Amino acid sequence: MKTIGIGLAGFGTVGAGVYENLERHRDLIAERSGYSFDVRRIVVRDPLKKRDVQATSGLFSKRWQDLLEDPEIRVVVELMGGTTEAYDLTVAAIQSGRIVVTGNKALLAERGAEIFALACEHKVPVFFEAAVAGGIPIIQSLRDAFVGNRIESVHGILNGTSNYILTRMQEAGMDYPEALAEAVQLGYAEADPTLDVNGWDAAHKAIILAALAYGFWVDPSTVRVEGIDRVSAADIHFAKGLGYAIKMLGSVRVIDSLVEVGVAPTLIPQSNVLASVNGVFNAIAVRGDLVGDSLFYGRGAGRGPTSTSVIGDLVEAAHILDAPRGTYGFSSHGLYGNNRPSDEIIGSYYLRLSVDDKPGVLARIAGLLGEAGIGISSVVQPESIAGVETPLVLMIHEARYGKMRETLAKIISLDCVKGSPVLFNVESLT
């Protein structure tokens, strides 16, 4: 039985879960893997803070440098979050020859290219299963299990908080503020849920999935990212009547050798399996040219699921310490040209407007769309619903997102259009 020294940076929900579950399942992990893991140092901001998971007080430190000053620490587990200190620690750990295990999605999405270039230079692996979808083994699957496939698309519900809110809006008829308040009260959302509901948590995960599927790191500034704060009970109602559910969907795909990445509220057919993924659960649908369609489903966050992925990476790291390989967690390649900027992506849309209830309004709006070469596939003008005055719902045929935005700016300048428009994606997922 070999013992591997671990340095743990961060002791929040996930970090505490890693420590707790390494201790709880020490014998099970050892029997299955042949390794015992010894947490030798834990870096936190406040070593004196009371915690619900107890660890020996002598393990705690405020300096991440302490992890690199212990020669017995062979693997550094970075669970601090953020992109400043976490980056400094990751770089220093790689330069010192230590394997890094991280769950930091923002760090990888924003600085993954630099980190893995350094990992290759120093021949030190970086593992990151916990960065996407909690305990769902999607990273290993894309990197290893599907290595013989050209990935055609990856679509996923990647944020449990936003999915819980949309589920409650659909099932209980709540509007967004009410469903958000409930999510915060139940602990499914942070007191400041901004990253969850504005789409960026899911976007960071989508960028990581795109890198694994297509071999390069997409610039986050080129990705369309929209949150769920514009979704109303009226939109849920209209979508249902049209045969759709609204989900915050991360979309990654390749068309004509250019990779498209985006995250936005999206209407998906009620018949599609992703439409039935409710509550705090995540799901990711992968389409490969050989394997066809595969679905990954499970809890996308939380102490148990996410620590499961970290512990799996620790075992993988231990095996590599014994038998080094020529892979470092991510392999770049040039099989695909680049990513397509969001304004150039062609899609279908759901557009809801509030308009004056008088003749000729629809004709004026349709005229502007027609001038832009944008087709309307269907029109719904139901009676008013509480909170929405004289709604007009248009299902838009395929159009470039940039052209759609330009035309929408002209539409909302019409005197017959009131308030702010709502524009969501529509995906057939066939």
pLDDT digits (tens, 9 = 90+) for 84-143: 999 999 999 999 999 999 999 999 999 999 999 999 999 999 999 999 999 999 999 999
| pLDDT attached to residue 120 | 96
What is the rounded distance in angstroms from the CA atom of residue 163 to the CA atom of residue 170? 10
Q: Which one has a higher pLDDT value, 301 or 227?
A: 227
- CB-CB contact of 209 with 250 (8 Å): yes
**Paired residues of 41 in beta bridges:** 7
What is the rounded distance in angstroms from the CA atom of residue 260 to the CA atom of residue 339? 6
Residues with catalytic annotation?
Answer: 205
- CB-CB contact of 378 with 339 (8 Å): no
Q: Tell me whether strands 346-355 and 60-61 are parallel, antiparallel or unpaired.
A: unpaired
Nearest alpha carbon to residue 64 among 87, 48, 36: 87
CATH architecture of residue range(s) 139-298: 2-Layer Sandwich (3.30)
Phi-psi domain of 153 (left: phi exceeds 0; alpha: psi -120 through 50; beta: other): beta
Nearest alpha carbon to residue 349 among 235, 234, 194: 235
Confidence of residue 12 (pLDDT cuts 50, 70, 90): very high
Q: What percent of the chain has pLDDT over 90?
A: 89
CATH of region 345-426: 3.30.70.260
What's the order of all strands across the beta sheet hosting 99-102? Answer: 60-61, 35-43, 2-9, 73-78, 99-102, 126-127
The whole-model pTM stands at 0.95
Looking at residue 274, its amino acid is: L
pLDDT digits (tens, 9 = 90+) for 318-358: 999 999 988 899 989 888 879 999 999 999 999 999 998 88
pLDDT digits (tens, 9 = 90+) for 137-180: 999 999 999 999 999 999 999 999 999 999 999 999 999 999 99
Q: Where are the domains of the chain?
A: 2-136+303-322, 139-298, 345-426
CATH classification of 2-136+303-322 is 3.30.70.580, yes or no? no
